[in-house]
Structures are given as structure tokens and as C-alpha cells.
């Protein structure tokens, strides 16, 4: 199973995630992340694209916070009030997408004993990229 890491500076959001059952017991929580923290992990929080592309996936809990509360620490009740449905993203760089498509094509060819499946996977990957 992929490790889960929560990235937030907001204690109320962490409480909300636990309350909602989105954070498994023992999940790591940090306030700032780097590549080593997120690579291959399921991240709950917000990341810049360069880091999100390294993660297995990123789940965001969108907060529709009124302008007058932005920049302020929210209470758990406010997080409950402004939190939207969690959204999970899988982000890949073009190079990584190609690498994953090639690996899938080779796996498919080994299973089927042909190159037809692999050729179809590669054609699909090329179509997505172009």
C-alpha cells in the first residue's frame, strides 16, 4: 500500500480529515514538503505541480473561504462549514507518462505473448501526449 502523508499548517484541517476518515491512523503530517517527502506517496493537501507529479496521488479538500477569513487560522467548525468534497488527482509529467505507458506495454506483451496490446497502449499514450 502507498504511504499516506498529510501536508497542512492548519490543525483544524487535520482534525477535520481525521473526523471524516480521510486520514488513516499513523499518517505523517508535516507543514511543508519537498520531493523526498512526497515521492510515491498519497498526499492529502495542496502541492505545487512539480511535487504533485512525484506523488502517487494528491487529494485536496477544497475550502471555499470568504475573503475576510483568508490568511487566518480557521476553527474546526469553520473548516466543516467551508470544506467541499475531497478531490483526488493523479498528475504525471509527460516523460513519466511515457515511461509508465512503455512499462504497461511491455507487461501487456508478456501476458499476451504478442505485441498487439503493447502497440495499442503506446498508440494511446502518443495520442494523449500529442
What is the average per-residue pLDDT within 11-19? 90
Percent of the chain past pLDDT 90, that is, above it, reads: 48
Here the cell at position 123 is 498508440
* pLDDT score recorded for residue 59: 95
State yes or no: pLDDT of 68 exceeds 70.
Answer: yes
Look over the chain and give the mean of its residue pLDDT values, rounded to a whole number.
88
- Is the full-model pTM beyond 0.85? no
Angle, CA 16 vertex, CA 28 and CA 81 arms, to 5°? 150
Half-sphere exposure of 67 (CA within 13 A, CB side): 0
Per-residue pLDDT band at 1 (split at 50, 70, 90): very low
- Nearest alpha carbon to residue 129 among 105, 102, 98: 98
- State pLDDT tens for residues 21-62: 988 777 789 999 999 999 999 999 989 999 999 999 999 999
CA trace torsion 8, 34, 38, 90 (10° rounding): 80
Amino acid at each position: 500500500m502507498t504511504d499516506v502523508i498529510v501536508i497542512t499548517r492548519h490543525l483544524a484541517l487535520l482534525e477535520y480529515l481525521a473526523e471524516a476518515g480521510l486520514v488513516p491512523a499513523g499518517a505523517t503530517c508535516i507543514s511543508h514538503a519537498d520531493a523526498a517527502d512526497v515521492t510515491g506517496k498519497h498526499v492529502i493537501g495542496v502541492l505545487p505541480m512539480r511535487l504533485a507529479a512525484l506523488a502517487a496521488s494528491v487529494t485536496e479538500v477544497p475550502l471555499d473561504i470568504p475573503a475576510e477569513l483568508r490568511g487566518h487560522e480557521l476553527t474546526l467548525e469553520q473548516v466543516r462549514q467551508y470544506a467541499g468534497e475531497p478531490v483526488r488527482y493523479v498528475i504525471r509529467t509527460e516523460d513519466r507518462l511515457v515511461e509508465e505507458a512503455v512499462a504497461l506495454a511491455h507487461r501487456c506483451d508478456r501476458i499476451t505473448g504478442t505485441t498487439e496490446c503493447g502497440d495499442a497502449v503506446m498508440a494511446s499514450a502518443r495520442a494523449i501526449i500529442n
